[in-house]
Structure 1
């Protein structure tokens, strides 16, 4: 029997690779006779860089502007042979960097521009920017500024590091000093959401609260993002991206980066799927095992583990899902290719205790699931 293990992260406790390794260890200690292989998956958010690492794409580190000022060290991926770089925004301007509270009027994406310049120094012509898990709501203004853009107010005074509601003070955008190397580069945004920049499903209204935007301020942030998109459109001579799918990801990164270079957005999981040739791996497996921290309504919208299960279903292969919590009904899961789902919690516990015990809980639950499969095979 061949088993493919393809997990996403268990946020706050296990990376995708750690989850996969734990499940393979459980398989080895179970009564099921099987050969296991694994693939770390992600959807454009945390873990995307790790999921794309290979013999050709290796890690490097650069000193960049932190999301709240100062400097930080950020890892990124470089494939010299393919002239390709992979930047993960969650690692350069992510939630783990919040130490003194969220500040959406200050959080900047400038570090992403710094990493793009570092990639240009290595001669790359394609840059993948994984945009999930960011703390900024600056329309990509910081990244664009780091790449050479300048902003001016109505009185022609410079506007430096605009973010959040301060985007409304930008009346003109000067792109004349952009790094000339950007002309030969394609930027691919790997997104975990397809929301537009503004409106009911926009960056401020849907994702702003988790970045510190107060309920009473959402309309102001939404208007500021729309204003900035209009000013970028004037500077580039292109239509505003305010209603464009994916433009709301990472606080509007598409808006700023589209003014710097040819930019297109893709579903993050599709990038991982193609990179690992998951269709071929699933076709070779007898059973697929996937998982993540929370299997819920967001998962059913097509997040990584459910996308894996759907692919398994299309290939006629059963799929088991393991999760910290299962918040979807059996019928919903079955309709999306999940043959069986198991919550790994072994007893009532606080969130902190559950996260600390995640590895042990995942191991025990996976082993029990594999023992059940083994018993079913013997009975059959």
Structure 2
């Protein structure tokens, strides 16, 4: 259990820096939409462990609030990367949490390419409900919808709850894996390239 937080050894230079943190999700630190409940199962957290770990997160947040005078537990992005978003917001003075996809889209000026497009194609390794929380495919879809473009997404795998992505601008999504296979086989570069090409051909036969 954390009892006390101190800052004696924090370099002064950190206080003088401005941080722009790429953050793909908007989850708070704790609760049913927080780091433990949403992302913990992916990392091996068992159902019976979630309540305990979430309680420990709250304890850390309370000690942080005592030390900093700020409560960022419900801040958008606080639950990203296991709570690193919360740590950045709480312990560094000049921090901006910004959508990672927005940073990338601005850097590559994708909007210039999208504004004259008819169809925009995006994708992800696995499309699921977390994709709809602001990951790359949805960020691309939001941009495309500014110009009324159709959006097609391809993914290695698609979960049952991926339908939420349709509510965020992805018009249709397609898994590319063909038949029963192992994860290693599906992720082999040659296999993935072939599956992607075959799936794209069938989709664009319909679109064209």
TM-score category (smaller protein): 0.7 to 0.9
- Report the equivalent of 1:358: 192
Residues 157 and 175, structure 2, Cα contact 8 Å, conserved in 1: yes
Which stretch shifts more, 331-340 or 362-371? 331-340
Matched position secondary structure for 1:172: coil
- Report the equivalent of 1:287: 119
- Distance across 1 between alignment mates of 2:86 and 2:133: 24
- Is 2:43 aligned against 1:211? yes
1:327 Cα shift? 4.5
- Distance across 2 between alignment mates of 1:284 and 1:252: 39
Which stretch shifts more, 293-302 or 217-226? 293-302
- Report the equivalent of 1:250: 81
Q: 1:206 to 1:273 in 2, by over 3 A?
A: same
Q: Please identify which structure carries the higher helix content.
A: 2
1:280 Cα shift? 1.9
Q: 1:260 to 1:309 in 2, by over 3 A?
A: closer
1:343 Cα shift? 2.7
Q: 1:291 to 1:182 in 2, by over 3 A?
A: same
- Distance across 2 between alignment mates of 1:255 and 1:335: 28
Q: 1:226 to 1:301 in 2, by over 3 A?
A: closer
Please show how residues 181-260 of structure 1 align to structure 2 within 5 Å: 181-236=13-68, 238-257=69-88, 258-260=90-92
Matched position secondary structure for 1:174: coil
Residues 175 and 235, structure 1, Cα contact 8 Å, conserved in 2: no
1:370 Cα shift? 4.1
TM-score by length of 2: 0.81
Residues 144 and 151, structure 2, Cα contact 8 Å, conserved in 1: yes
5+ unaligned residues in a row in structure 1: which ranges? 1-167
Q: 1:333 to 1:182 in 2, by over 3 A?
A: closer
- Is 2:135 aligned against 1:303? yes
RMSD: 2.8
Which stretch shifts more, 282-291 or 206-215? 206-215
Q: 1:368 to 1:191 in 2, by over 3 A?
A: same
1:293 Cα shift? 2.2
Matched position secondary structure for 1:284: coil
- Distance across 2 between alignment mates of 1:239 and 1:329: 35
Residues 254 and 263, structure 1, Cα contact 8 Å, conserved in 2: no
Aligned length: 205
5+ unaligned residues in a row in structure 2: which ranges? none
Q: 1:336 to 1:366 in 2, by over 3 A?
A: same
Larger Rg: 1
1:311-334 per-residue CA deviation (whole Å, 9 max, x = no partner) reads 223302233322223447998666
- Distance across 2 between alignment mates of 1:343 and 1:301: 19
